[in-house]
Amino acid sequence: MREAYHDQLDSIFDDLGGICRRVQVAVGLATQALMTGDSALAERVISEDIEIDRARERVEESGFSLLSLQQPVAGDLRTIVAALRMVSELERMGDLSVHVAKVARLRVPDIAVPDDVRPTIEQMATVAEDMVSRVCDVIISRDVEAAIALGKDDEEMDGLRRRSFSELLSDDWSHGVEAAVDIALLGRYYERIADHAVSIANRVIFVVTGHNPAALAEQ
Amino acid sequence: MREAYHDQLDSIFDDLGGICRRVQVAVGLATQALMTGDSALAERVISEDIEIDRARERVEESGFSLLSLQQPVAGDLRTIVAALRMVSELERMGDLSVHVAKVARLRVPDIAVPDDVRPTIEQMATVAEDMVSRVCDVIISRDVEAAIALGKDDEEMDGLRRRSFSELLSDDWSHGVEAAVDIALLGRYYERIADHAVSIANRVIFVVTGHNPAALAEQ
């Protein structure tokens, strides 16, 4: 009985890992749609988000079933509740990818990102996608060291966000208000994707060690 | 035993209601700081957010304690898990109020909101604060009708968001890129506060009826 129970708990984490990979693909494709003005790709990200939502529902059902049928003890209980929270965050990261895709779609046949801020936005997208990729590994491996390392990347994202603001607020900015607003919102979306990756990594630390990292309390 | 248990569950909802009122105050004060360029008020919102975070931790502890000590059955289980999610959303709404306060603080002694978009932003703030106020009532009363009605206000927020975009992207916009970016981000923050209010209302519907409103699945 206990055996089957732990198999089921492991299977929830496998499912979370699978959803995370879907999110990683969504972030990557949304960025590609954004950088190339590819409306078909943007549509794909938008329409495939429903699959992330459905996968979330399945994880929620499993989590509730474990909670109600197995009456887990303290440690397992916290693990299941953490899994339920992680899946909400993963779904939200999928939604944020959809927001990026929608900015891309809105500007087709143009490209929302002007050439001179392209390096900054590309780097934000790369950092965000890399953080998502690493948090997928953390979910599967429950590697606390790797989870702690993720928190440090968040500083890089903060720096990039500041750089994008100084670019679009500089006197040299020649792309008008619309592009500036797009860049500000895109920066916010990528930053939130990164925030969620850090938050999920912190939840894994909590599941493994039983302690909340200070970073989680600060968020 | 069961009696004490339900008292404890009710007390969690009372705590959620109390946190919600703190969030409502934070939204109101942040808006006031924004509209008047009052840096002391902005600082207050920023520094008092820690109290919302601490109150969240207390609700989480109560929720976990109920889950682990009482081994609740299906309906109560879903109620407690819903409460844990609601408290995360309330904390996030507090964070969004802090974001509004930080925009206000950044522009002191100026005011971030130019006069001609003031009516739109004021209305967004009013709708957001009203939705927070009503969701506090819904948490306490668990009134499903009132919870359903909240979802409809979200459409008003969407309309205001579109109006603010058309204002700042119009040819008449004379306030430059910085103000446009502030307005776009402020719009996003108020919109997210409203989204969370609707999401919490939907969770209350779920707790009372056992059914997920369609709106929750869509988010």
By three-state DSSP, how is residue A2 classified?
helix
Q: What is the mean pLDDT of residues A94-102?
A: 98
Q: Could A180 and B185 be called an inter-chain contact, meaning their C-beta atoms sit closer than 8 Å? A: no
Which of A19-23, A27-31, A69-73 has the lowest average pLDDT? A69-73
CB burial of A89-116 (b: ≥16 within 10 Å; e: otherwise) equals bbbbbbbbbbbbbbbbbebeeebbbbee
Instruction: Kindly list the residues from chain A whose CB atom is less than 8 angstroms away from the CB atom of residue B75.
Output: none
Determine the pLDDT at residue A23.
98
Q: Which amino acid is at B89?
A: E
Beta carbons of B180 and A181 less than 8 Å apart: yes
Which of A73, A173, A181 has its CB closest to that of B184? A181
Q: Which tokens hold the place of A2?
A: 């206990």
- A217 pLDDT above the threshold of 50: no
**Side chain identity at B63, as an amino acid letter?**
G
B179 and A CB contact within 8 Å: no
CB contact under 8 A, B74 and A53: no
- Distance in angstroms (rounded) separating the CA atoms of residues B37 and B107: 7
The Cα–Cα gap between A96 and A94 comes to: 5
- Whether the CA torsion A200, A203, A209, A213 is positive or negative: it is positive
Assess contact for B4 and B16: CB atoms under 8 A: no
Q: Which residues of B touch A184 (CB under 8 A)?
A: 181, 184-185
Please list every residue in chain A whose beta carbon sits closer than 8 Å to the beta carbon of residue B219: 95
The predicted pLDDT at position B188 comes to 96
* Model pLDDT, residue B180: 96
Using the beta-carbon criterion (under 8 Å), do B177 and A188 form an inter-chain contact? no
- Most confident residue range from A203-207, B99-103, B149-153: B99-103
Flag whether residue B215 sits within 8 Å of chain A, measured between CB atoms. Answer: no
Confidence of residue A211 (pLDDT cuts 50, 70, 90): confident
Residue B218 has pLDDT above 60, yes or no: no
Is 50 exceeded by the pLDDT of residue A215? Answer: no
Residue A212 banded pLDDT, cuts 50, 70, 90: confident
| Other beta carbons within 10 Å of B1 | 5
Contacts of A112 in chain B (CB under 8 A): none
> Which residues touch A120 (CB under 8 Å, ≥6 apart)?
A160, A163, A164, A167
Nearest-CA residue of chain B relative to A70? B71
Residue B51 contacts A, CB cutoff 8 Å: no
Query: CB–CB of A73/B68 below 8 Å?
Result: yes
CB within 8 Å of B126: residues ≥ 6 apart: none
Q: Which of B64, B169, B173 sits opposite A77 (nearest CB)?
A: B64
pLDDT, one tens digit per residue, over B37-90 is 999 999 999 999 999 999 999 999 898 888 877 777 777 888 898 999 999 999
User: Within an 8 Å CB–CB cutoff, is residue A166 touching chain B?
Assistant: no
| Binary contact (B168, A184; C-beta < 8 A) | no
What CATH topology corresponds to B2-218? Methane Monooxygenase Hydroxylase; Chain G, domain 1 (1.20.58)
**C-alpha to C-alpha distance for A82 and B64, rounded to whole angstroms:** 11
d(C-alpha A20, C-alpha A26), whole Å: 10
Inter-chain residue contact A71 with B71, CB threshold 8 Å? yes
Q: Quick check: A184 pLDDT over 60? A: yes
Pair of tokens at residue B110: 């100026």
Angle at Cα A69 formed by Cα B214 and Cα A11, nearest 5°?
75
Residue whose tokens read 């109390």? B18
- Taking 60 as the threshold, does the pLDDT of residue A1 lie above it? no
Q: Do B81 and A67 touch (CB under 8 A)?
A: yes
Measure the CA–CA gap between B8 and A104, rounded to whole angstroms. 49
Rounded to whole angstroms, how far apart are CA atoms B180 and A150? 33
Nearest residue to A88 via CA among B151, B99, B189, B88: B88
The DSSP symbol for B113 reads S
Distance CA(A59)–CA(A97), nearest Å, equals 20
* Of the candidates A113, A107, A117, the residue with the CA atom closest to the CA atom of residue A168: A117
Note whether A54 and A125 are within 8 A (CB). no
Please check whether residue B152 is in contact with residue B90, taking contact to mean a CB–CB distance below 8 angstroms.
no
Interface test with B, best of A51, A60, A68 (most B CBs within 10 A): A68
In the chain, the amino acid numbered B213 is: P
B84 in contact with chain A, both atoms CB, cutoff 8 A? yes
* Residue A170 per-residue DSSP state: S
Q: Does B41 touch chain A (CB under 8 A)?
A: no
Q: Given this model, what pLDDT does residue B214 score?
A: 61
- Are B169 and A178 within 8 A, CB to CB? yes
Q: What's the confidence (pLDDT) of residue A115?
A: 94
Are the Cβ atoms of A77 and B95 closer than 8 angstroms?
no
Give residue B121's pLDDT. 97
| B84–A81 CB contact, under 8 Å | yes
Is the CB of B181 less than 8 angstroms away from the CB of A181? yes
Closest partner residue to B68 among A64, A74, A188, by Cβ? A74
Banded model confidence at residue B1, pLDDT cuts 50, 70, 90 = low
Nearest by CB to A85, from B88, B185, B219: name it: B88
Q: How far is CA A63 from the centre of its chain?
A: 21
Domain spans, chain A: 2-218
Calculate mean pLDDT across residues B181-186: 96
User: Lowest-confidence range among A8-12, A86-90, B17-21, B107-111?
Assistant: A8-12
Give the phi and the psi of residue B110 in degrees, each rounded to 5. -80, 175
Whether B23 and B89 have beta carbons less than 8 Å apart is answered as: no
Which amino acid is it at B40? A
Is the per-residue pLDDT at A173 higher than 80? yes
Contacts of B184 in chain A (CB under 8 A): 181, 184-185
Three-state DSSP at A185 gives helix
Looking at residues B172-191, what average pLDDT do you find? 95
What mean pLDDT do residues A8-35 have? 96
Percentage of residues in chain A having pLDDT higher than 90: 77
